[in-house]
Amino acid sequence: MKFKILILFFTMYCGLLYGQTDKETVQIVEFSGKVVHEGPDGNPAPLPFTNVVVKGTNRGTYTDYEGFFSLVALPGETVEFSRIGYQTVEIQIPEKLIADRYTWVQIMTENAYILPEAIIMPWPSKEHFKQEFLAIDISNELRDNAMANLAEDRMRELRDNMPADGREASSMVIRQQARNYIYTGQTKPMNIFNPIAWKNFIEAWRRGDFKRRK
């Protein structure tokens, strides 16, 4: 009799402990997905550097070059997608999930700013414009300077000495990183065995690119 009472008490205690543990357990969700927008061709295209933040917390991330993201969230939390030039979107993770992963594809829409019409007139009227246009003195010196700036030697000098802008510099860095990833763990090929490199060297030598310039 005492043994049966002991078993009954133990069973009730385990059930109570299990009920308390189940109520106190918090389900953590791996919230991941992709952010896209309308590309130039009208098809969905990845949208990088989109902020993905769980509202009311310090948890968040941003999408990579392919638009993918991944973060940790809780059921019922609200996630905000925001990016400059696009409308901010908020979604709520379902409170009841059958798995610890939740995938979402978010489509971002560009903000449309309609500015009032502005008419810029350098002269008060068309008559003043005609008078000023006819009074313009286009001398030979100005024309000669313009032709000199468009000469082939001058254009080549500008191409060789003009520094790259931000877009060109970032493109060069991305291409360099891609080449490094391709040859990770192995020796990079040497250009001394590259026939294309030899062809470019011979053509540059014939053009006189290696001559010392004054």
- Tell me if 71 sits within 8 A of 35, measured CB to CB: no
What SS3 string covers 78-98? EEEEECCCECCEEEECCCCCC
The Cα-based distances of 140 to 134, 143, 144, 159, 206 in angstroms read 17, 5, 6, 27, 36
Instruction: Report how far residue 72's alpha carbon sits from residue 32's, in angstroms, rounded to the nearest whole number.
Output: 9
Closest among 82, 80, 78, 62 to 70, alpha carbons compared: 62
pLDDT in the model for residue 182: 76
pLDDT in the model for residue 3: 44
Give the pair of three-digit tokens for residue 17.
């402990």
pLDDT in the model for residue 112: 78
pTM of the full structure: 0.45
The separation between CA 213 and the C-alpha centre of its own chain, rounded to angstroms, equals 42
pLDDT in the model for residue 196: 80
pLDDT in the model for residue 24: 45
- Partners of 36 in the β-ladder: 46, 107
Q: Which residue has the tokens 């700036």?
A: 149
Task: For the chain, list the domains and their CATH numbers.
Answer: 27-107 (2.60.40.1120), 143-207 (no CATH)
pLDDT in the model for residue 1: 57
- Tell me if 37 sits within 8 A of 47, measured CB to CB: yes
pLDDT in the model for residue 6: 46
pLDDT tens over the chain, length 214 residues: 544 454 445 455 455 444 444 444 557 889 999 999 998 888 999 999 999 999 999 999 999 999 999 999 999 999 999 998 899 999 999 988 888 899 999 999 998 777 788 777 777 888 888 888 788 776 777 778 878 878 888 788 877 787 878 888 888 888 888 877 777 777 777 767 777 888 888 888 888 877 765 5
The phi and psi torsions of 35 (rounded to 5 degrees) equal -110, 130
- Partners of 100 in the β-ladder: none
pLDDT in the model for residue 141: 76
**How do 60-62 and 101-107 pair as beta strands?**
unpaired
- Tell me if 50 sits within 8 A of 63, measured CB to CB: yes
